[in-house]
Structure 1
Amino acid sequence: MKRTKNRLKNVARLFSLLFLFGFPVSYGQDFNKEELSYSEFLGYVKKYHPLVKQANLEISNAQAALMVARGGFDPKIEVDYSKKEFKGTEYYSLLNSSFKIPTWYGIEIKAGFDDTDGQYYNPQNKTPEAGLTSLGINVALGQGMFINQRMADVREGKLQLKLSDAQRKLKAIEVLYKASEAYFEWRKSYNEAELYNRYLGFASKRFEGVKKLIELGDAPAIDSVEAGITVRNRQLNVENGNLKLAKAKLYLSNYLWIENVPVELEDNVKPEENLIQTLETTLKTDAMMVNVESLDSHPKLQALETKMDMLEINRKLKANSLLPKLNVGYNYISEPSYWSSFNADDYKFNVDFSIPIFLRKERGSLKLAKFKIQDIQFDIEQQRLELKNKIKAQQTEISSLKRQKKVIDNLVKDYVTMLNSEEKLFSFGESSIFLINSRENNLVSAKLSQISIENQFYISNAELYKILANPD
């Protein structure tokens, strides 16, 4: 019964959205079915787009790598058993088992149990009848005391988490920027198509009016040809505009996913009308919100600085290799039944020492590690300078486009005034269809420039958003 109710709920959700999209997906209840706002669109891209999800895998990969590195400090059980028997004779039966616990600073705790039996075996392996237990410690007093490969792997694994978060942001911002371009192109194509359709209607009405004037003898017949040419030009513009709009919608659909399903917009959905008022708030590109002098949190710089920290760990590891290898081990040994009475004379002790004479390999490796750190330091300085200049250049472009927007808005108003005046003169018989068409063509061109400048403004803000690289 519960399963049936769940299925009915899912079906209801699917059908409720067929009015907006021609695809079975679910939207939130607050979705406006007539308008897809830019901020809402970005929200869907951030949450559902496969490439953004793929970018989030960077963190998961780093967490898995850190788990692998920490595995170097996992306790370990080792058992080595061998036996030889030939023609009824047991040559040997050797059991060596141990339990090791690696610790952070080159120290290893070890417990073991050995048992030896048979007629032929190395005398040093001889054990009591009940076997031989041991408990001891191995310490690295030279190489590996303050840093070793296991310690370096764990430290690098922790830094890799930070690096992966920066790389995730850089990958996500690239997807969001391309998605923004698709949205702006859709909005531009939509506005152009609306403009062409509106002025096709004006031209058609004017054509019908001219034909009536000709019938009444108040206008020359050639005016119908003039008006008809304008109508056909407008029809071509409408057809071309609709084609661009259809392609822009399909391109936009590449970035619109709900859950795990791609979505295609229906024809009745339109872009945000007042985008110019909300864009800078959505992208956080307002000049008051951008601090050019403080870029420490920028993902690109964070990635480089994290790589430098990882190289510093490698440098310490190379410097540690200049020390001699000196490993000391002590193990207290006893029969299993004798642990209650400690005897310090029963033990195994070992010392392992080695050092190359010239250390040329170690010194060369250390120099290479230092050069890599210097190289990335230069890269950080250059990237910081480039980011500052890119941000300033983009802010300058945005300010210029704002001024251009004011100019084109006033220009459109002037062309509207000129067209209205020309139409009044025509009604008084003091103008012609040719002049009206000329005024209207100028107005349409100005409105197209207005749409284009607005679109450049949106794209310029998106480019600044991409440079700042803060998708969260």
Structure 2
Amino acid sequence: MKNNFKAFLITLMLLFPMVITQSVKAQQNTIVKAEADSVKVFSLSDLQMLVFRYHPIVKQAALLSESARASVLQSLGYFDPELKAGFARKLFGNTEYYNKWNSELKIPLWLAGADLKVGYDRNVGTYVNPESKTNSQGLSAIGLSIPLGQGLLIDARRNTLRQSKIMVQYAEAEQLKQINAIWYGVAKDYWNWYYAYKQFALINEGVELAQRRFTAMSRQTIIGDKPAIDSVEAYITVQERIIQKEKMKIELQNAQLVLSNHLWSEDGNPLELPFDAVPQNINPAMAKPNPLTLDTLLGQAANQHPELVKLRTKGAQLAVERSYRQELLKPKLNVTGNLLSNRTGFNSVIPGDYDFNWSNYKIGIEFAFPLFLRSERGKLREVKIKQQELNYDLQQSSRTINNDIKAAYNDLSAYSSQLAVQIQSVQNQQILVTGENQKFNLGESTLFLINSRETKLIDMKIKQESMISGYQKTLAELYYKAGTRQDTRLN
């Protein structure tokens, strides 16, 4: 029975190295070659270039400011010159009852809410109202319509235009906020992919080590230097690491798929991350962030954070609305004045009494004033309440943003300190593994201790890569909380 079992073990030891060599090494060729080929390194700056050029959500965010500018253009339409004309004629029983031609060019002016008007009227006929009747030459007029009360300082059209211009700043801040959020998510996915790749590479390295040790143990078992049970133990270690490697392989593939969500071509077609692409290398010795960086980001956030800019522009918009509502509390007093003339052209020769002068005019005054002003006072009170709410929101948002920046900075500092310790721990563990191998070669240690220390070393290296990934994600979070983006070219 023992001989059969030993024969089985020997057969297994002879065949298994070849199987492992063909299967395991074939799977690792992609990553090993990719690491050796620097051209296939896909850095964070490469990803940033693709995202900001071709990502559809980034392009969509750019439409926000375009939409706001379209609203400004629409508001400018209230100041477009307007030309209108009308003609009416009645002829009955060989009698021309009336023949009317009325035309006017109105040019809205920004100053004082006035309208410049140029008109021409020709009203002839038997039954035309005498007050509007003209001679056969017609009557020209040039004049102004000015609101001396309500509408002098601001009116509906100036209110709309000012608020539209302010909304451009609001839209640009919203655009920046959305782009920052997109990039923050992209950066996190990149570092998740980095961690999955490093995790897979370390496990793959562990498989290689276990395979080489199993091969050596098999040969020593065959010649009788080692007991067969050591080969079985080495074989089990290889199997465990292969299982772990397959698990990490799936996680790496999933991380690649998630990162591929952000890759688009110039034509808008989705791209896939190449299977042989590798992330950039990172120096594990992360320096503690400079306190000046924190001060800079806090100052920058106070002035330029998209959320605060949005609130301030909303406050500016409410200030314009408040001015307009206060203006509506004034009575309406509109004055219209026109100088009249029979002149129909610049070269016309007409008597001075019928030309443009201060003796030929028409004037009108319009006055209106609601007695209680309840509607206007209610609207004004509503605007004031919104301003108070906005001020409270601005105070709370400013404090929250400052604390979020400081919290991210503290996390970054903690990662830096932990990484320094972890690097030393990995180096010390490597010394233990090397020493244990030397003792094993001298016959003073066991395979179990070697596997145990080696597995712990791999776990510690994986933990170190996890810290590096966490550090980089926290760094991206720090800039995101400050309302900006890190320049990846500085990495």
Whether TM-score is above 0.5 comes out as: yes
Question: Identity, % of aligned pairs?
Answer: 35
**Counterpart of 1:143 in 2: which secondary structure?**
coil
Structure 2 counterparts to residues 419-458 of structure 1, below 5 A: 419-458=433-472
| SS at structure 2 position matched to 1:125 | coil
Aligned equivalents of 2:216, 2:167: Cα separation in 1: 73
Q: Could you tell me whether the CA contact under 8 Å between 1:210 and 1:223 is conserved in 2?
A: yes
Cα shift readout 1:157-208 (whole Å, capped 9, x = no counterpart):
2212211221111010011011101111111111111111111111111111
Instruction: Report the equivalent of 2:273.
Output: 265
| 307, 311, 321: which one aligns with 1:300 | 307
Structure 1 distance, partners of 2:313, 2:438, is 70
Counting only pairs closer than 5 Å after superposition, residues 68-467 of structure 1 correspond to structure 2 as 68-84=74-90, 90-104=96-110, 105-260=112-267, 261-274=269-282, 287-291=291-295, 292-293=298-299, 295-336=302-343, 337=348, 338=350, 341-467=355-481
Question: Helix, strand or coil: the match of 2:333?
Answer: strand
* Inter-CA distance 87–415: structure 2 relative to 1 (3 Å threshold): farther
The DSSP-based 3-state class of the residue aligned with 2:391 is helix
**Which whole-Å deviations, capped at 9, do the CAs of 1:133-155 have from their partners, x for residues lacking one?**
11111110001101111111221
Secondary structure, aligned partner of 2:318: helix
Taking the aligned partners of 2:94 and 2:263, their CA distance within structure 1 comes to 78
Q: Does 1:53 align with 2:67?
A: no
Q: Distance in 2 between matches of 1:275 and 1:57?
A: 39
Structure 2 segments unaligned to the other structure (5+ residues): 1-36
CA separation in 2, counterparts of 1:466 and 1:75?
47
Give the counterpart letter for 1:127 in structure 2: T
Match of 2:43 in 1: 37
Alpha-carbon offset, residue 394 of structure 1: 0.8
Give the drift of 1:293: 4.7
Q: Deviations over 1:297-324 (max 9, x none)?
A: 2221111011100000000000000100
Q: Which deviates further from its counterpart, 425-434 or 338-347?
A: 338-347
Partners of 2:283 and 2:270 lie apart in 1 by 24
Shift of 1:86: 6.0
Please give the secondary structure, in 1, of the residue aligned with 2:39: coil
Secondary structure, aligned partner of 1:115: strand
Moved more, 341-350 or 412-421: 341-350
Matched-pair contact (CA < 8 Å) for 2:329–2:377: yes
Contact 2:429 2:453 in 1 (8 A): yes
| Aligned position for 1:8 | none
- Residue by residue over 1:59-94, the C-alpha shift from the partner in whole angstroms, topping out at 9 and shown as x without a partner, is 211211111112211111111233445677654333
Paired residues in the alignment total 438
AA partner of residue 385 (structure 1): R
Please state if 1:65 is matched with 2:79: no
Question: C-alpha distance in 1, partners of 2:61/2:38?
Answer: 29
- Paired position in structure 2 for 1:5: none
| Structure 1 unaligned regions, length at least 5 | 1-30
Work out the CA distance in 1 between the residues paired with 2:385 and 2:189: 44
AA aligned opposite 1:65: S
- 2:195 alignment partner, SS class: helix
- Report the Cα distance in structure 1 between the residues aligned to 2:122 and 2:264, rounded to whole angstroms: 65
C-alpha distance in structure 1 between counterparts of 2:284 and 2:317, whole Å: 44
Tell me if the contact between 2:284 and 2:419 (Cα under 8 Å) persists in the aligned partners.
no
1:314 and 1:300, CA in 2 relative to 1: closer, same or farther beyond 3 A? same
Contact 1:279 1:458 in 2 (8 A): no
8 Å CA contact retained: 2:286, 2:419: no
**Residues 120-141 of structure 1: CA deviation (Å, up to 9, x unaligned):** 4433332211221111111100
Give secondary structure in 1 for the equivalent of 2:303: coil
TM-score normalized by structure 2? 0.84
Query: How far, CA to CA, are the matches of 2:201 and 2:38 in structure 1?
Result: 20
Do the aligned partners of 1:55 and 1:172 also contact (CA within 8 Å) in 2? Answer: yes
Residue 22 (structure 1) aligns with: none
Give 1:331 deviation, angstroms: 0.7
- In the other structure, the counterpart of 2:34 is none
* Stretch moving more, 291-300 or 371-380: 291-300
Query: In the TM superposition, what is the alpha-carbon distance from 1:113 to its structure 2 partner?
Result: 0.9
Q: What secondary structure does 2:470 align onto?
A: helix
Partner of 1:26: none
Instruction: Verify the 8 A CA contact 1:210 1:224 in the aligned structure 2.
Output: yes
Structure 2: how far apart are the matches of 1:286 and 1:131?
81
Compute the RMSD of aligned alpha carbons: 2.2
Correspondence for 1:15: none
Q: 1:103 and 1:268 mapped to 2: Cα distance?
A: 66
Residue 100 of structure 1 aligns to a residue whose secondary structure is strand
Taking structure 1 as the reference length, the TM-score comes to: 0.88
Alpha-carbon distance between aligned partners in 2 of 1:339 and 1:202, rounded to the nearest angstrom: 114
Deviation at 1:434, TM superposition (A): 1.3
1:286, distance to aligned residue in structure 2 (A): 5.2
